[in-house]
Each structure stands twice: as structure tokens, then as C-alpha cells.
Amino acid sequence: MSLSLLIIALALSCTDHVNPGEPGQSNCLRVNGSPRLYPCEFEITQIDVMKVSSNTDVYATLTPSNHNVHLLTTMAFSYIRTATTTATLEYKLRLHVKRIAPPTFPTPTGYWISESIAGGEPDDPSVLLPNRYYPAPILNMAVGETSLVFTRLTYYTSDGELQGRPSMVSIQNPVTYQNLANAPNNYALGRDRSEAYYLPINATYTDNR
């Protein structure tokens, strides 16, 4: 084999896989600003707040440059009065999820679409609630493609004011998530273990029933 053919063969052999655990291959950063050990798989490019239970009618839109949304009771997927002055509301969301890297580890059981418990710190893994409302999506689209995924956010009100606010919407590959949590990696923060996340969500509220 000539030298030029050998170089081509070696180059091709290095382009069909990712070597887990090699810093510098990451396309996202950890909370502390350092590269994540494994590339992040996704970006959340847009979040649509849907009208009540609709899959198509959008009430409000969140983007990376706009984190503000004004919630109305009449747009809630669910409204449950829990006491004389308190209530629980759920809003249906549609996430625009773009794949930006192939998975480092396969996830045959699907991905986690998570909300953080209202009032919880986003980096506390114990407050993540994965796939609370809908089955785990597969998200097997090619790099550069976008899929739409539904989830919900839960809010609590007292005397017509928001009291508990979900702090983050996020996506996890459960296999990658666990590998980052395990020794010797020991990633402690929820955002560092996630494939994509959106925060903060700056919500205001009007009870317009």
C-alpha cells in the first residue's frame, strides 16, 4: 500500500466513531465553563406554550433570546383548585429539539424529557422529574434535524400569584447521565449531566377565568 493510500485509510478509520472520555471533543460546556466529557446531543431551539391541550395552536413562544412568558388560567392544560386560595396549573409545552451530535451511548429505552420540581434548584438531580406526562421519546433523528416533543410544566398559585415556579426544562440520555454521575467522573450538577436544557423561564401570571 502506498503512503498516500495508507494516510487515507487511517483518516477514514478515525471518522466513524466517538471516543468517550476525551476532553476537547465536546460541543458544550459545563456550568464551570470547562468542556463536558461527552458531547451534548441536543439544543432546545424553541419552546411553544400551547393553548390548553392543543398540539398545534400556540399561545406563547420562548426562544434562547426570550425567556419571558405571561401565563393565563384560560390557557392552562389543567387547573385544579387545591384550597380556597391555592391552585395547581399545568401548561402544555412543545419543545423544538435539534440534534447537534450523535449519542455517545445508545439509549434503547428513550430519552428523559424533564421538568424540575417547582421551587427546586436546577442543578439538584433529585428535583428532576423525567417523562412525568408522556412516554420517553426515541429522538433518533440525524445530526442537524429537529423533532417536536411535548411535555408540561406545573405551577402553583396562592391568592392569584405564582408561588412555585419550575426552574428548568431539560433532556437527558439516561445512559450518559449515569456515566457522568459515576466515578471517576462524579458530575454532581443536573445541567452538566443533561444533553440540553432551557432556563430560566421568567413567568408572570393572571387568573383570567
Q: What is the mean pLDDT of residues 74-78?
A: 97
pLDDT category of residue 34 using cuts at 50, 70 and 90: very high
For residue range 171-186, what is the model confidence (pLDDT) as tens digits?
Answer: 999 999 999 999 999 9
Q: Check if the beta carbon of residue 38 is closer than 8 Å to that of residue 20.
A: yes
Spans of all domains in the chain: 40-206
CA angle 131–72–163, rounded 5-degree value: 70
Q: What is the mean pLDDT of residues 196-204?
A: 93
Count how many Cα atoms sit within 13 Å of the Cα of residue 14 in the half-sphere of its side chain. 6
- Specify the range with the lowest mean pLDDT, choosing from 19-23, 93-97, 110-114, 141-145: 19-23
CA–CA separation, 85 and 158 (whole Å): 5
- Specify the range with the lowest mean pLDDT, choosing from 7-16, 90-99, 173-182: 7-16
- Specify the range with the lowest mean pLDDT, choosing from 9-18, 101-110, 163-172, 185-194: 9-18
- What pLDDT, on the 0 to 100 scale, is given for residue 82? 85
3-state SS, 113-182, equals EEEECCCCCCCCHHHEEECCCCCCCCCCCCCCCEEEEEEEEEEEEECCEEEECCCCEEEECHHHHHHHHC
pLDDT category of residue 3 using cuts at 50, 70 and 90: very low
What percent of the chain has a predicted confidence (pLDDT) above 70?
Answer: 88
- What pLDDT, on the 0 to 100 scale, is given for residue 27? 74
Q: Indicate whether 92 pLDDT > 60.
A: yes
pLDDT category of residue 19 using cuts at 50, 70 and 90: very low
